[in-house]
Chains A and B, each alone.
Chain A
Amino acid sequence: MGTTVTTNLGLIKPDTSEKIQEDLPTYLGWAAQNESNCDTIDGLFRHTYHNYSPTWTADSGNPTLGAGGFVTGKYARIWPGMVFGYIKIFTGGAGFATGTGLYRITLPVAIAAELKTFNLEVAVGKSYFLDASSVITSTNMVVMYDPVNDVLFFRKHDGDAWRHNAPVTLAQNDRMTAYFMYPTEDA
């Protein structure tokens, strides 16, 4: 009794010959079975955000955050094989150093193996760079996945990528925010 389940989710199907009431210890009854099924289905549509600490680097020398600076990230598995997430960077105040070269950010979860076979960068989101000292040099960027280095980088409006000195030389109190979405291996 109560041993028939659906193929994928394991939902308990009441057998025709079963009683409604429980018959412990072997049979929980329809109420308990239905409760279990409802919890299973409900749990499929819950997506919990997780914190992650992105590593921010540059390809010729890493930047250094200034006082109060931070690099934060959050992500959620929105389906078994997909991740959606956010990144925020604040360069901070005194002590900030730009580093040298192309800026990169690590991923929270490994990307699906299929996308690692791409030999070009893969567009996975959008971002915004805020130049604290000037409006006209703030800009949108495309978040790209680099299959060679297994990191994210940021394609600028003019075709080049976000670097320590492009679109402008990064300075204290500058900010970047991004979102990304990409497929992963099944959780």
Chain B
Amino acid sequence: MVLSLVDPVGSNFIKDFPGQNANNLDRVDGYAGPCLHTHPLQTLDIDLTSTTTKPTLGTGGSNTAYYYEIFDQIYMWGQLRFGTGFTAGSGIYIMALPFSVDSLVGPGTTLGQSPIVGNGSVFDASSNAGKLPVTVHLRTASQFHFGVRLTSGLANRELRDSGYITWAVGDGISWNARVKRVATV
């Protein structure tokens, strides 16, 4: 049982009931109460990295995300934007999470076998044509990568340091995702 609730058993269960019931109510309240009663959006400590050389965000750049946790479900919304002096790094872009996801869905480094957990869009500050939709995939139990829609000039399936877009200041990624966190209760 997830919450270890006390079963009212025993030779004198009526006498023991108040204490057991109070214990059970406190456990239910502690698990469900904070997220069902009131639960503010929280800042997600997320990191952009890559398979070869880590990109840098530059001055004014940002990698911001928020999450909403309900029991073991995590809902996330994030935005990456490159600033002045950024470096694109090299390789497949990876978003590293600060927690582990339930890996039952089978994360994978091959995009076509990597479960989709969300969607989003590339932001090309210079062209609408560059603002292509992306899918958010579970690469490992604590990493996302992004699949990009086929388009002219695309050299790779995953969002990378280069390919269909030459990253510039003001460019970025907008995304959302939903995952099941590894149980902590």
Contact A8 B33 (CB under 8 A): yes
Cβ contact within 8 Å between A81 and B40 = yes
**In the bound complex, CA of A9 to CA of B31 (Å):** 11
The CB with the most chain A CB atoms within 10 A, among B64, B122, B133, is that of B133
The interface on chain A, measured as residues whose beta carbon lies within 8 A of the other chain's beta carbons, has a size of 48
Q: Is B75 among interface residues, defined by CB-CB distance under 8 A?
A: yes
How far apart are the CA atoms of A160 and B124 in the complex, in Å? 11
Question: CB within 8 A of A6: which of B19, B33, B172, B176?
Answer: B33
The answer to whether B32 and A9 have CB atoms under 8 Å apart is yes
Is B72 an interface residue when CB atoms closer than 8 A count as contact? no
Q: How far is the CB of B10 from chain A (nearest CB, A)?
A: 15
**Main SS of chain B's interface residues?**
mixed
Chain A residues in 8 Å Cβ range of B175: 123
Stretch in A85-93, A114-122, A128-136 with 4+ CB within 8 Å of B? A114-122
Interface residue? A32 (CB, 8 A)? no
Q: Is B39 in contact with A81, judged by CB distance below 8 angstroms?
A: yes
Complex CA gap A41/B33 in Å reads 10
Whether, in the assembled complex, A82 has its beta carbon less than 8 Å from a beta carbon of chain B, the answer is yes
Q: A6-B25, A82-B75, A159-B127 are in contact. Are A186 and B38 (CB under 8 A)?
A: yes
Is the beta-carbon distance between B38 and A80 smaller than 8 angstroms?
Answer: yes
For residue A58, give the distance in angstroms from its CB to the closest CB of chain B. Answer: 16
CA distance A18 to B124 in the complex (A): 67
Contacts of A80 in B (CB 8 A): 35-39
Mask: chain B, 115-157; 1 = CB below 8 Å from A; 0 = not: 0001111111001111111000000000000000101000000
A-B contacts, 7 of them at CB < 8 A, read A12-B25, A13-B21, A79-B35, A81-B39, A114-B66, A122-B79, A123-B175
14 extra interchain contacts, Cβ-Cβ under 8 A, other than A13-B26, A114-B66, A144-B174? A6-B28, A7-B33, A8-B34, A13-B18, A16-B19, A41-B28, A81-B41, A115-B41, A118-B79, A123-B118, A123-B175, A123-B176, A140-B133, A159-B132
Q: Please report A residues at the B interface, Cβ cutoff 8 Å.
A: 4, 6-9, 11-16, 18, 20, 30, 34, 37, 41, 44, 79-82, 112, 114-115, 117-124, 126, 140-142, 144, 155, 157-161, 181-183, 186
